[in-house]
Amino acid sequence: MTKKLRRSKQRSRMLELLRSTEQHPTATWLYDELRKEFPTVSLGNVYRNLSILVEQGYVHKLDFGSTFDRYEAADGQHAHFMCRGCGRIYDLPMPDLEGYSHRRDIDGHRLESARVEFFGVCHECAAETESS
Amino acid sequence: MTKKLRRSKQRSRMLELLRSTEQHPTATWLYDELRKEFPTVSLGNVYRNLSILVEQGYVHKLDFGSTFDRYEAADGQHAHFMCRGCGRIYDLPMPDLEGYSHRRDIDGHRLESARVEFFGVCHECAAETESS
DNA sequence: GTCCGTGCAAAAGCTTTGCAGCCTT
DNA sequence: AAGGCTGCAAAGCTTTTGCACGGAC
């Protein structure tokens, strides 16, 4: 069962910071900001609290779903489906993105490439869960 | 100027492996496969060759564009634009994905969330390059 | 012969974890 | 008082890098 959570000034402030910034901070950025108010805060605790906030759904982690990089041969555009059960990555046809993919710029930024990723539970993992 | 590249059995084989697999391997997986044929190959060399293959455009790296995780407060769906110049991440409205976002499954996989990322050079970085 | 590619080993960088004491409830 | 939260430090893991030697051109 899940632990009952308490409230901590550090964690509350972290969420405030994340909500008040336009940036998409790294753990270290948060650490530096937090240290202005809690000079003794530790980086380890920032990571610990981030993982709690992510688990609670208050924060999104913009990583790739696993701690190591993945590679694929470069053969055309496609989207990916990532299974949170087994970690497998499936290829999918690239959706059209309302024509974005053919545009040269977005909001004034020069567009070079796009990536689309879906997350969920894959067919095989869903089958396993049901049968057990 | 760029170094003139030679050809190496290890690197050629790495590309073959990447092209022959449906998976999206990690460096370690490649390392293990490669060791079956080149028992003395080193993990460091796998990384070195991967970076060469990526630079040559033969291979795509499925990372997030930077070596550390980024976080954001969870406030609704949006897409991201990532600048390869300054590393900044901008929010963009989420495109419709041809209705994918409202579907419950894709290819039999249970869909829970989606992510769209654009890559390129942001307005500010483009301006800097022009003026210098 | 040149100089790129390699293996080996060490280092770097981000993230996680064990522990003892503190603070919230 | 109970048990989550904290700082500190050490460890873990992926990735990078320096070096001398062997191999491709």
Residue by residue, what is the 3-state secondary structure of A13-71?
Answer: HHHHHHHHCCCCCEHHHHHHHHHHHCCCCCHHHHHHHHHHHHHHCCEEECCCCCCCCEE
In the 8-state DSSP scheme, what is residue B103?
Answer: -
**Fold for domain A76-132?**
Dna Ligase; domain 1 (3.30.1490)
Task: For residue A96, give the nearest of A112, A116, A80 by alpha carbon.
Answer: A116
B116 three-class SS? strand
Secondary structure (DSSP) of B55-90:
HHTSEEE-S-SSSS-BEEE--S--EEEEETTT--EE
How high does pLDDT run on average in chain A? 85
Block residue for tokens 């929010």: B91
User: What percent of chain A has a predicted confidence (pLDDT) above 90?
Assistant: 35
- Chain A nearest-CA residue for B108: A123
Asked whether the CA dihedral A19, A121, A94, A89 is positive or negative, the reply is positive
Tell me the C-alpha distance between A10 and A47, whole Å.
12
A119 three-class SS? strand
More confident site: A76 or B61: B61
pLDDT value for B66: 65
Q: Which residues have CB under 8 Å from B116's CB, separation 6+?
A: A97, A114, A115, A116, A117, B79, B80, B94, B95, B97
Phi, psi of A119 (to 5 degrees): -125, 150
Q: Which nucleotides of C are covered by protein (CB under 7 A)?
A: 3-10, 13-18, 24-25
Quick check: B27 contacting A, CB < 8 Å?
A: yes
**Fold for domain A7-75?**
Arc Repressor Mutant, subunit A (1.10.10)
Which chain A residues are within 8 Å of B106, Cβ to Cβ?
81, 92, 118, 120
Burial B84-109 (b: 16+ CB within 10 A, else e): eeeeebbebebbebeebbeeeebeeb
A55-69, B11-25, B45-59, B113-127: range with lowest mean pLDDT: A55-69
Tell me the C-alpha distance between A33 and B53, whole Å.
38
Give residue limits of the domains in chain B: 7-75, 76-132
Q: Does the pLDDT at position B132 exceed 60?
A: no
How many other C-beta atoms lie within 10 A of the C-beta of residue B33? 19
B106 three-class SS? strand
Beta bridge pairs of residue B89: B82
**pLDDT confidence of A28, banded at 50, 70, 90?**
very high
Which chain B residues are within 8 Å of A112, Cβ to Cβ?
84, 119-121
Q: Is A43 exposed, middle or buried (0-12, 13-18, 19+ CB in 10 A)?
A: middle
Section A17-41 average pLDDT: 93
Q: How many CA atoms lie within 13 A of A39 on its CB side?
A: 0
How high does pLDDT run on average in chain B? 85
Q: Does the pLDDT at position A132 exceed 60?
A: no
pLDDT value for A47: 95
